[in-house]
Amino acid sequence: MATFADRWAGFGVTFRTMFRKTFTQGYPEKGKVKVTAPRFHGRHQLNRWPDGLEKCVGCELCAWACPADAIYVEGADNTEENRFSPGERYGSVYQINYLRCILCGLCIEACPTRALTMTNEFKLGDTSREKLIYTKERLLAPLLPGMEEPPHARRLGEDEQTYFLGLPKTGTPDTRTGRAPVGEAR
């Protein structure tokens, strides 16, 4: 049982810190901009190929790997007239519920195409619960110069092998891993 002196010692700590300025006073107008570590797990992003097609193939592995059940994916088939990704399928519906997400990164580890990555953006608070359910439109990476909004046909390379190696017509294979390019012997 706490003694009388222990109780007053606890109140002393409370009174000493009660009127001290906090680090959040004046946020976000005053103060430094928060710089995160390079491998920080922030908001998710659905990436694109260099021609603008989506990398997500709708395999739903990220949803299966999510321990918080925060990801919902519906895959659909691509057609030649309506192509959103270079493969046979694409993610037609993609949602991440940030009310459930624990930002653990297991979903990005499960993604076979590196379609899903995590950015350094950490300000995820919003004014309603509906705004914290991010849809595919909010998760997709912005179009960079030279990219075209899907649906469209594949633009890079004459065949699938060249496209998935990421080689423009004048490009060379990436040999930094020490592995031989597909189709070549070491």
Gyration radius (Cα) of the chain, Å: 24
* 95 occurs within a structural domain: yes
pLDDT, tens digit, for every residue of 109-150? 999 999 999 999 988 889 999 999 999 999 999 998 888 999
What's the confidence (pLDDT) of residue 186?
Answer: 44
Answer whether residue 9 is part of any domain. Answer: no
Tell me, what amino acid is at 113? T
pLDDT at residue 151 above 60? yes
Q: How far apart are CA 171 and CA 37, in angstroms?
A: 32
**Is 165 known as a binding-site position?**
no
**Cis peptide bond upstream of 28, omega within 30:** yes
Residue whose tokens read 């195409």: 113
Q: Is 62 annotated for ligand binding?
A: yes
* 111 annotated among ligand-binding-site residues: yes
Share of the chain above pLDDT 90, in %: 49
**What CATH number does the domain containing 84 carry?**
3.30.70.3270
Whole-angstrom Cα distance, residue 83 to residue 92?
Answer: 11
Dihedral of CA atoms 80, 86, 89, 94 in degrees, nearest 10, equals: -120
Residue 66 in marked binding region: yes
Average pLDDT, whole number, for the chain? 83
**Which of 143, 141, 123, 120 has its CA nearest to residue 131?**
123
Domain that holds residue 138: 36-163
Q: Any known ligand binding at 133?
A: no
- Euclidean distance between CA atoms 87 and 164, whole angstroms: 10
Give a yes or no: residue 6 inside a domain.
Answer: no
pTM of the model: 0.71
Q: What is the C-alpha separation between 127 and 122, in angstroms, rounded?
A: 16
Give 116's strand partners.
Answer: 46
Judge whether 176 lies within some domain.
no
Per-residue pLDDT of 12-41, as tens digits, reads 888 888 877 766 666 666 656 677 888 889
Q: Say if residue 86 carries a ligand binding annotation.
A: no
In-domain check, residue 115: yes
Looking at the 3D structure of the chain, how many domains does it have? 1
pLDDT in tens, 55-99: 999 999 999 999 999 999 999 999 988 999 988 999 999 999 999
Residue 16 falls inside a structural domain: no
Would you say 59 is a known binding-site residue? yes
150: in domain: yes
Bridge partners (DSSP) listed for residue 157: none
Is residue 56 part of an annotated ligand binding site?
yes
Q: Would you mind telling me the total number of residues written for the chain in this entry?
A: 186
